[in-house]
Structure 1
Amino acid sequence: MTRPITVVTGGSRGIGAATCLRLAADGHDVAVGYVRDADAAEAVADGVRAAGGRSVTVRVDTSVEADVERLFDIAEQRLGPVTGLVNNAGVTSPLGRLADADPADLRRVVDVNLLGTLLCSRRAAQLMTARGGGVIVNVSSAAATLGSPGEYVHYAATKAAVDALTLGLAKELGPDGVRVNAVAPGVIDTEIHAAGGDPNRAHRAAATIPLRRPGRAEEIAAAVAWLMSPDASYATGAVLRVSGGR
């Protein structure tokens, strides 16, 4: 059988990196999209190859249409017809109340988390509908339903929009044989908290989580991998919450 060929945005670290490696272990060839750290992306690609897959790294700002076009073009040129997309690229901003947020930070969060997901989904839809099949998995957040007051309500708002996109696009592309789902992680122990100015946030939050610990990137990758797999062949329009009960 032909190996699935999957594009993973934000694939150089955290949930994205874990997803690339898990998909490779499950038999995927992987295009690793990254925005800054070329060395980290290449390390992930090496891990994909060590697991028996082919891999290519592509620098991409998902909020820029030309970058998104180039990402998919290189993936198809180097690996073959893209069969899957994991919309993982996302950003936060310094934690705090919306009233105190910098408008530039608001715009960047919306541009990457929502517009970037829309642009990548649009390109994937163009390719997949023409071929009669494919899988898209969006990385949302439990924040979409919790709101994240006092931390980043703008981030939560973009993830709520990603949930709406997941449902609408699943209905739109279902007749074309394309499945669209999302995973909504809770508090996961990754570098994203340091980027928001609070590197210990994940462990401080443990007391508010029913399982009493933050999640691991590999646990989210496992959920993504299931939604990408034939075992989830009748799942579309679903938002799978993986949040330790929060």
Structure 2
Amino acid sequence: KNELYQVELELTSDDDQQLRSLTDRIREEASGGTGWQRLGNLLLKSGQFNKAEELYNVLLEQTSDESEKALYYNQLGYVKHHQGDYEKAIWYYEQALEIQQKILPSNHPSLAISYNNIGLVYDNMKEYSKVLSYHEKALKIYQKTLPSNHPDLAISYNNIGSVYDEMGEYSKALSYHEKALKIYQKTLPSNHPLLATSYNNIGYVYKNIVEYSKALS
């Protein structure tokens, strides 16, 4: 049986400014949750997916708290997604979603995040009808719970626009990308990178329309 041991360490001196800056930076990067959860976040951010997987599996074994289980399943889904093991990623994300559906209200933002996570994995697998279904579920939650110009709505519109583009449904793709652009134009400074991304998305759809019409002629 795997076990985790927690060791408390303290800096013996505050004189070393470089070390102090480093520990502050690590604390900032790995924020949130218990010490073990912060360690998991740090392992994910530094790309140490195998170690993160080991840690989350042990934490999963040791907890009886349902919300913690959902968190660990989600993180394991993230690990498997980044390792390219899409079937396993979906399995973990679905375990998390199943728990969340039992313990959270049906329009809770965490459910939307889970739907989007599953949608992104299916996107890698090019199963576009499933991608669309999950992104639309997320969008419905955001539309009910967020103000109409919230950035998460723009992300949802972009996600759906990209799926329609990949499916060759260009007018729908444009419609969703333009909705995202309108939100960004209202809420972001004119030189923000997300605006550039939005213009790129729309430009890419127009490029595909031109190529498609050439292919037909």
Same fold (TM over 0.5): no
Q: TM-score, normalised by structure 1?
A: 0.27
Structure with greater proportional strand content: 1
Structure with greater proportional helix content: 2
Higher relative contact order (CA 8 A, sep 6+): 1
Q: TM-score, normalised by structure 2?
A: 0.30
